[in-house]
Chain A
Amino acid sequence: MKTKTLSKSLASKVGILAGGIALGAMLAGSALAEPAIIYDLGGKFDKSFNESAYNGATAWAEETGLSFQDIELQTDAQREQALRQFARRGSNPIVVAGFSWATALGKVAAEFPETNFAIIDMVVDAPNVRSVVFNEHEGSFLVGALAAMKSETGKVGFVGGMDIPLIRKFYCGYAQGARAVNPDIELFENYTGTTPAAWNDPITAGELAKAAMARGADVIYAAAGGSGLGVLQAAADEGKFSIGVDANQNYIQPGSVLTSMLKRVDLAVASAFADQTNGEWTSGFQVMGIGNEGVGWSLDEFNADLITDEMKDAVDALSAKIQSGEIVVHDYTTDGTCPVS
């Protein structure tokens, strides 16, 4: 087992070294004052959270004809380095995608008071930082309601990525939505892991989904980044339904993905870029919820046959009630508890 430790520590060292060199090379010679976006470890093309951020930046670039800088991280250790590099080269604003950025951003934002930053999914209290948070519990409530309406067994599942409060917030909203439709529905709650590797482990996530389906679940909601692909695959293999997350994932397994809980990270990124270039930048809180189309559910040609008109009407009614405040969906992260289990 000695060799294992050796190879692991070696791997991380070489990784950091190589990553550092690559980072320096990629940032060299970049233009000034362009907005920048830095993705989280899941990678730019995760078909989910990071890809949605990338799509938002691309949409902004296509609309305005301007260009932006972006970079993918190799390791956690590069966070501060990447932020400083962009800030020093005059990129403005700099958007970071993901809650893991909070510590690094808190430090670097203080060093560059003239630069505007935006962080998605986390709150960093600094005068030059915009903190974008999403009401994922509201979007999850809607897909939970859809799952409960679609389920024939009265059992629905949830496979989360890393077990953190943010992901429990997804589950809690989902559970409340499912119970709102069917008070007797049985829920299976699972998490892929407790380390960041859980965002990219489709095999374990797929097994968790299979285990839930073996216990009778016929709709599984995957809030697990790249691991979610394993859940979508498992549901398609077993002829059951899955629910995608963040980006619209309906196309990945047409006819099996019931819907996707949309989290419009792309809108958040595009508006951060646009606000800066239009001189309308605001720091502080920005909440993206059902009201401003920050969260929602997807309906397109890939799942049109799965959603009946009654289901659509029922969800639209629930959505309106959340907007009007008639239904208040509990947010797990406010007190660390969920009213339904």
Chain B
Amino acid sequence: MEFFNSSIFMLDSSIRLTVPLLLACLAGLYSERAGIFDIGLEGKMLAGAFAAATVAALSGSALYGLMAGIGVSIIMSLIHGVASITFRGNQIISGVAINFLAAGLTTLLGQTWFRQGGRTPQLSGDARFTGIELPYAAELADVPIIGGIYSELLSGHNILVYVAFAAVPITYYVLFHTRFGLRLRASGENPKAVDTAGVNVNFMRFKAVIITGVLCGIAGAYLSTAQSAGFGNNMTAGKGFIALAALIFAKWMPIRALFATLLFGFLDALQIRLQGVELPMIGEVPVQLIQALPYVLTVILLAGFIGKAVGPKAGGIPYVKER
């Protein structure tokens, strides 16, 4: 029972750590499926996190914060879109620029406005997304097995966690069962065919990039107003890049993206839980080794187990209409 309980707590922690990765991974999925590489996920999340924390701190409302986060993230997306779709610039360079812009601007504005070294004020009360208790969670808590799973694992998360997990089937449905999804995927595989069918490729790509902005904004708001209580310098800490790795790992498929990001979240939770714990047979493992674990496993998994990952054919190539 002790083991079961601690497993539940660890899975609970995995879920919390997976959410930003999952949202960013799905964000990248829309963009890359439409043929726009996006290494600016990190920057968009960071900008979204900053905007969300700032507005939440000033207005006292997490919801306004979320809207601001999404809004700013969409603006960053549109910059990327204009540079790489309209002006056919290099998508990688534009993405790098977005990352720099976000890292610099958030610290600069944060320091100018709040004078706390780039941090925003600590949020409390309604300025944060707090946990939602699902019905009967408290009553079921003492039921063996099911109670633990229901009241610890499924209940008690904030709304953005549920939004993130709901986004997976929605993404699957939109991409593979709607006309919009077909056109979006075709823009990334064979844009000429889309054009021939009378659909504006660049407009399609802009729509995809805007969806990317929305999802990155939610991820950012989650980081600063749900998981922690305020924005800190560079708080995304490489999550956007891990999401990109997960996207390749998942071969650009939404359901696989869920499992890939869950794996990364789980490894992160594992390294946190294993610290200072005596393992049977092995004894206490040094902290450094445990912290290297997710990276080592990532390399092994990426190198050995997923086989060849081929992205959308027209990815990274600006579409030029033939005259």
Contact = CB atoms under 8 A, between A and B. Distances in A.
A51 B276 CA distance: 31
A298 to B, nearest CB: 18
A43 B272 contact: no
B291 A193 contact: yes
Interface in A187-219: 188-191, 193-194, 197, 200-204, 206-208, 210-211, 214-215
B117 A3 contact: no
B115 A45 contact: yes
A334 interface: no
| B interface: dominant SS | helix
Nearest to B242: A4
B233 interface: yes
B57 interface: no
Contacts of A210: 13
B247 to A, nearest CB: 12
| A interface: dominant SS | helix
Interface in A19-45: 42-45
Contacts of A191: 275, 287
B119 interface: yes
A186 B108 CA distance: 44
A203 B223 contact: yes
B259 to A, nearest CB: 20
A7 B94 CA distance: 11
A46 B117 contact: yes
B100 to A, nearest CB: 7
Interface in B236-283: 237, 241, 244-245, 269, 272-273, 275-276
B235 A203 contact: yes
Interface string B117-144: 1110010000000100000000000000
Given A14-B100, A191-B275, A211-B272, A43 B117 contact: yes
Interface stretch (B24-32, B73-81, B192-200, B224-232): B224-232
Interface stretch (A78-86, A101-109, A226-234, A308-316): A226-234
A340 interface: no
A4 to B, nearest CB: 5
Nearest to A201: B237
A198 to B, nearest CB: 10
Interface of A: 1, 3-4, 6-7, 10-11, 14, 42-47, 72, 163, 188-191, 193-194, 197, 200-204, 206-208, 210-211, 214-215, 226, 229-230, 233, 237, 252
8 contacts: A163-B288, A189-B275, A191-B275, A211-B272, A211-B275, A214-B9, A214-B13, A226-B119
